[in-house]
Amino acid sequence: AQSVAQPEDQVNVAEGNPLTVKCTYSVSGNPYLFWYVQYPNRGLQFLLKYITGDNLVKGSYGFEAEFNKSQTSFHLKKPSALVSDSALYFCAVRAPSGAGSYQLTFGKGTKLSVIP
């Protein structure tokens, strides 16, 4: 079974400072990893994904994530936080194989608050 852990329920960061939202995963085989963001009363928006290749993945709105296979982690990062980045962030994993199922397994989410 695949699983995702986001160890922090909430992350607070000052505007202009770098931010990191942590994610670790458990899956058989090589994973497909995704980050989504959710603003209040909205659906999830795709930020970025890791499939294969370069461990540093760049995505939307200046976000990037680093895949670390030995630590089974996929932390989301941004060099300089904006107040508008305040939202709920979800990490998700999908095993690349399995009887045609493309189910995503999500972490519990991390609430990011960027303080002006």
Question: Residues in the site for other proteins, rule: CB under 8 A?
Answer: 32, 34, 36, 41-46, 49, 51, 90, 94-98, 100-109
Closest to other proteins by CB, 12 vs 103, is: 103
Residue 63 in tokens: 């976000």
Q: Which is nearer to other proteins, 68 or 97 (CB)?
A: 97
Min separation Cβ 98 and other proteins, Å: 8
Query: 25 near 50, Cβ under 8 Å?
Result: no
Distance from C-alpha of 9 to C-alpha of 15, rounded to nearest angstrom: 19
Indicate the residue among 43 and 116 with the shorter CB distance to other proteins.
43
User: Among the residues of the chain, which ranges form H helices?
Assistant: none
Closest distance between other proteins and the C-beta of residue 110, in Å?
11
CA nearest to 76, candidates 7, 3, 1, 26: 7
d(CA 24, CA 78): 18
Q: CB of 87: closest distance to other proteins in angstroms?
A: 14
Q: For residues 9 and 116, which CB has a smaller minimum distance to other proteins in the complex?
A: 9
